[in-house]
Amino acid sequence: MSKSIIELTKMDTRKFLLNVLSIETIEATPDTVIILRSGRKLIVRESPEEIYKIIEN
């Protein structure tokens, strides 16, 4: 069962909650950039692989 809300870390170490349904894409450029359906971009410390594991566990 996948999670609908996950906790991630901004580059300044602040934690935040994100609704996974709002995610359009996740890119590694080399920082991890999450592009939301609204067009907003978030840069996080977690890798795309870590985010995938968080969602799936």
Q: What is the pLDDT of residues 42-54, one digit of tens each?
A: 999 999 999 999 9
Q: Is the pTM of this model over 0.75?
A: yes
Look at residue 15 in the predicted model and tell me its pLDDT: 98
Domains and CATH numbers, the chain: 5-56 (2.40.50)
Q: How confident is the model at residue 57 (pLDDT cuts 50, 70, 90)?
A: confident
Determine what percent of the chain is predicted with pLDDT higher than 90: 93
Cα–Cα distance, 48 to 27 (Å, whole number): 7
Could you tell me which of 15, 17, 11 has the C-alpha nearest to residue 30?
Answer: 11
